Structure 1
Amino acid sequence: MSKIRVYELAKELEITSKDLISLLMEEFGIEVKNHMSVIENEDAELIKELIDEKGKNNDENEAKTIVDEYEELVSEEINKQVKKSKNKNKRGTRKPLDSEEDGSNMSDNTEEEVVIEIGNTITVKDLAEKLNKPNAEVIKALIFSGVMAALNQEVDFETAEKVAEKFEVSLVLKEEEIGKLEEVDIEEDVQAEKRPPIVTVMGHVDHGKTSLLDAIRKAKVTEREAGGITQHIGAYTVEVNKEKITFLDTPGHEAFTAMRARGAQITDVVILVVAADDGIMPQTKEAINHCKAANVPMVVAINKMDKPTANPDRVKQELSDHGLVPEEWGGDTICVPVSARSEEGIDTLLEMVLLTSEMLELKANPSRKSKGTVIEAKLDKGRGPVATLLVQNGTLNVGDAILVGNTYGRIRAMFDDKGKKIKSAGPSIPVEILGLSEVPAAGDRFNEVKDEKTARTMAETRKDKDKEKYLQSSHRVSLEDLYSQIQEGKIKELGVIVKADVQGSVEAIRQSLEKLSTDTVKVRVLHGAVGAITETDISLAAASNAIVIGFNVRPDGNAVSLAEKEEVDIKTYRVIYDAIEDIKSAMIGMLEPDYKEVVLGKAQIRQTYKISSLGTIAGCYIIEGKITRNSDIRIIRDGIVIFESKLASLKRFKDDVKEVNTGYECGLSVEKFNDIKEGDIIEAYTMEEIKKDKL
């Protein structure tokens, strides 16, 4: 018996897939998962008949409604004419005098108290204008209040209030416009219209992300870039079946996560590119985990189908292992075989993207003030600060004043993705703009405001607020304060990123941690992989407010610096049981952080010498901090801890020494371990007791 997909039937009936799904489930009791589900042809014919009948009834009802409306209009017009004739007859009556009207208004005005709204600060000149008083009188009032201020100097609200009282005027602190900017709910906006989807292309290096985009938009981007690798974030709009799609071509999931960390969830759909001859690679796994953490729907493009070694079934199997079951195997992940070179399957891929976006019901209101996100920004020698913006709601025009993060400006010029000058851009359209005062950061939100002065004031206020936030303590989750955050209701889900020396340990830790979930807090492993803790792991942790657990691995230097900056909690263990117990204790508030590890320094082994009576001696160079004779040490090879011990000896030339500092060479030997190799890192550390405050 032949079958038909839901989206194909929806296209025939000229209705949306979502409406058809609700019709199938409510009126026919047919269970369907999504627009890719299949139904029997018999059911499809019944639905067609039902919709035809409804159409006829609707036509009849519509005709009847039109007649009724016409009759109502006629009766309303007759009533109006009757009222007019009555009013003509009454027009001889006395009319109130102008003086009487004015007198009543005057008495009302004298009773009303004058109230003026101002911000936290105001210049003396602006205050005089608001109070409608000469500048000299306001300065005089300020002097009597004990404040010496020139015409263009700013005074705070309290000082301005004292001056206003002398002129019998009340001042009110204006509600901050900054908070108001973010509060437009698109769902409740009656003027919201359908907008194009914003699609990010992600995947492993050299799996053909940019080549796929080239095939879609017929423009060779890779030829202009070094080594054929995407060096920057670009945004491109293409038209498919009279509908637009905006593509973000990123250099990897780092940018995707960096934007999410700044609160800019701009992607609607992700195209995950997987090479048919390569399968799931480490960066593909990371991309999958980043998309899951962001809760963004994925369409998988199985690329390089033109290669003789292509094996799409193997890719589907690997996707299933990562929780992405293809829809033809009974899951809900759309997989489309494509070839960027021969352009095979491109139309199908775009159709699936449009279908996925249709289910999301993406809307925006083009007639309101614009807002959106900065995709990238740079300082150009000739043009000054240049920013690529993605409009998410409203319409952006040349000449508009905008507030962008902590900076501001008036748009002097605007260019589309092809470099052409344009005057306006609607929702989901990327544009490059000139006219900002400074270079904003990628992921900063922008909002259109009434004028440049307002934008400048608000940008300065934001800068001050950011300084205050920076000085205040962070609310990042850590094991030490996990229980208190759970009690305060700040944490409902504990995100964990697991890095280990072998895959077996990753899976063991993942399963053990997820079993710790309670009714109050769910423990969720966002990402697990083999190898050292890297910057990417810290970025994901920062974006998801998660902690990082390392088992037999160490963070690299860049990861440590970023973790300190982002205040991400990193915990390293040698025993799985200790990691599980620490998180369990933290969740019930029993964790006692009595000791903390302090890394003293790192030395790199440059040469090894085998001496029969002493074992292996390592010739080292201190690359960071210092190495002390009595410190504990760990030997790290390719980011993985292979042994922990103490130093058996530490020498400079022939002399025994207590410590060796950065930039010096030394010789050392490790207790009970001789399998040291060139390139290994010796990390020295001590365990310090945390002093608790005495009661």
Structure 2
Amino acid sequence: MSDITIKQLAEQVKMPVEKLLGQLAEAGMHFSAADQLISTTERMKLLGFLRRTHGKGGDADAADDSAPRQITLKRRKLSEIKVATPGGRGAASTAKTVNVEVRAKRTYVKRSVIADEAAVDGEREEALRKLQESQQQRADEERARAQAEQRRHEEEASRQEEARRRQAEEEEARRLAEAQAQAAEAAVAAVPAEPATTEPAVSEPVPAAPATPGVQRLDTSSLGLILPRVHEPRRREKKPPVAPAPAAPAPAPAPVAEAARAAAGKSRHEVRERDEGPGGKRFASGELHLSDAARRSKRGKPGRGTPREGARNQPASGTHGFSRPTAPVVREVPIGDSNLVADLAQKMAVKGSEVVKALFKMGVMATINQAIDRDTATLVVEELGHKPVDASQNDAEAALAAHTQSAELEGEKQPRPPVVTIMGHVDHGKTSLLDYIRRTKVAAGEAGGITRHIGAYHVETPKGVITFLDTPGHAAFTAMRARGAQLTDIVVLVVAADDGVMPQTIEAVQHARAAKVPLIVALNKMDKADANPDHVKQGLANLEVIPEDWGGDTMFVPVSAKTGMGIDELLDAISVQAEVMELKAVVDGPASGVVIESSLDKGRGPVATVLVQQGTLKRGDFVVCGIEYGRMRALIDETGKTVQEAGPSIPVQVLGLSGVPEAGDDFVVVADERLARQVAAERQQKRRETRLVSTAKANRLEDIMAQMGQGNGQQTLNILVKADVQGSVEALREALGQIGNDQVRVNVIAAGVGGITESDATLAAASKALIIGFNVRADASARKVIDANGLDVRYFSIIYDVIDQVKQAASGLLGVEVREEIIGVAQVREVFRSSKFGAVAGCMVIEGTVKRNKPIRVLRDNTVVFQGELESLRRFKELVDEVRSGMECGIAVKQYNDVKVGDQIECFERIEVARTL
């Protein structure tokens, strides 16, 4: 749509031009004339303003609450009508024009408002209905409560009435019994001694009462009286005393027996009604075994409602059912590598304070939230009388072990290339020898001529494929050499023929013996004129490495990495040794192996160099590597080419791990990512628990007492180390941790792989630490923190430079040592008195030189009596700076006048000596 004028727009929307100009002004666009052009953008802006104003703008959910809920439109329409008016008499009618104005007012309400009002009305009706229902329910409850209260009052009144009736019956029975007793006494007094012959009123005699000594039995049959049986309430009955066995009663007449049974039945009914209430059942619910006290406790009502739960669950004896165990309970407590004190207490069902007390008795200071190791936990459990058992292994680890074992057992083993590790002293030509074999120039690019990490290569030789591992020779890389010896099949010990056996040579021999791998000695630098192979053989023979030509079993091969002499013989020796060992591995199956080296690349992420030992590692496999896991995104060989798979004894670089693994960690290919993630998580948790246990070991009582005895004189130099590969980090941490003495120690607060980041700089600033970057640099954000806090950052590429610099920094913490050195001794020969200087000693310098600006001591009988300064040193009235041995001088001691003949004046000076480690 092209631009149009405001007048044309007003005609299109059927709106006056003045009103349209007003709306444009409200929308922030000012137009003054109707013939001005308005663009499409301005028209869309006006439309948006009108929609927002009338509540129709944008998303309905995001509409402003302040938008109008309804609008009212007022319309006014003007029209004219002509009305005919009659004229006068004889005149014609005329037409009159009348103006008619129609005003209309309409109100429009938003549909959402109508829906909201309908919803509010529905909610109001629902709330009103619920209120009526609740009121009705409350009224029903009140009515039911009133009825229940009325029934309870009626039952209480009937119970009281029944009690009064029973009391009246008992009183009536008691009076009747008294009257019968009186009548019987009167009858006994009136009856003659001989028994009457008249027939009694009752044809059958009643049962005879038991005979009682000293009491004459009354025969009531002659009186025609039947005495009723009065039954007392069962609760008031007492156990009668033991009496002699009664005589066998005579058979009772039928009417008397019926009357007795009726009376007995009535009495039982009354007793049941008295005990249980009207209509109650005494033996309900099969509780025939309950005593009266138990029934009363069960029937008791503590308040309104049902009987108490405790009274319902009480046993028949009326006491609780808990009984104390007669013997101590011995539980089996599972023990893991790390155990929290609170968890141990819960497993043993004892209080945590008991476990803490037992630990204190053992000398371990641990709280309830700290972790203890397996041995300590076992001792605590046995001390508290329980049985420790080993905790079950993790399910994920067990599944992984079963998966790896089944893969090794099911696969068919085939011959594999040998893995050869090159070891030896620094600068003996290890990397140069391997460089000649590979036909490359690896050694030329190494800083300081020192290999900083394990290099892994597989080489195609005329004798077959051989995998070489190049290890560093510096003393700090002991862990790397030990790891290389553990991974290898054959160790090639490189010894310079012109240098002989050195410390790292001895260490390499020890590593090879510990790993139980065969040893081949390469006598390097044989092209030099001062080469002495016999000297090398003698030195190795002292280490029990005997050459074959001396009757031993170790092959010695003279080589030269510079000229290539003996390289073929060395490869032949390696091939022969590999054939003897018959090296085999499973080729088809999931891969497993070990991490040789790892690093953090800025563009590729975590990178690990792994050596495959079993199976075939393929691209896309899921791998668990220590506490890290991931999917293999790429496999790269030592030349930088991407490969699809790697078999046994082949080293490759892998990409795709979740983090940087530690050198020496095992890696295993698993079926899916879920198992890999679960195994990595469990290993991470176990490593964290182990770290907590190692931290808690420092809380032993003897360690704390030892630290208290040392005092606080030791100073600490904090260092943060970042390196390019994991092996260098490990070597630096170990080498720097060994620097220090009783006055100062080096503390490596953090060490990691990769560049120096902002978080590293922040940690160093908080810990006041020295930052060391080994073949890495700080990024831009880290440099800002370093500059802001004034941190000391030092970059290195040679490891012995790092050790020397840290030793110097640690020595700076030691400060300087002030030593006193005696430079001259003068003997007092005569004492003179001076009005200006007081006592002046005439002396002869007998040793060294006496200087004027140096401190002195006055010795008498080899005992220091004064220490101060020289006030004046003169020779023949001249003020001199020094007097040499064998010359006389006059000495005035400042603020000391008690100089005597025979004293010695010792002149000394203080020298500051920097202390070193």
Larger radius of gyration: 2
Fold-level match, TM-score > 0.5?
no
TM-score bracket for the superposition, by shorter chain length? 0.3 to 0.5
Q: Normalising by the residue count of structure 1, what TM-score does the alignment of the two structures yield?
A: 0.45
Greater length-normalized contact order (CA 8 Å, ≥ 6 residues apart): 1
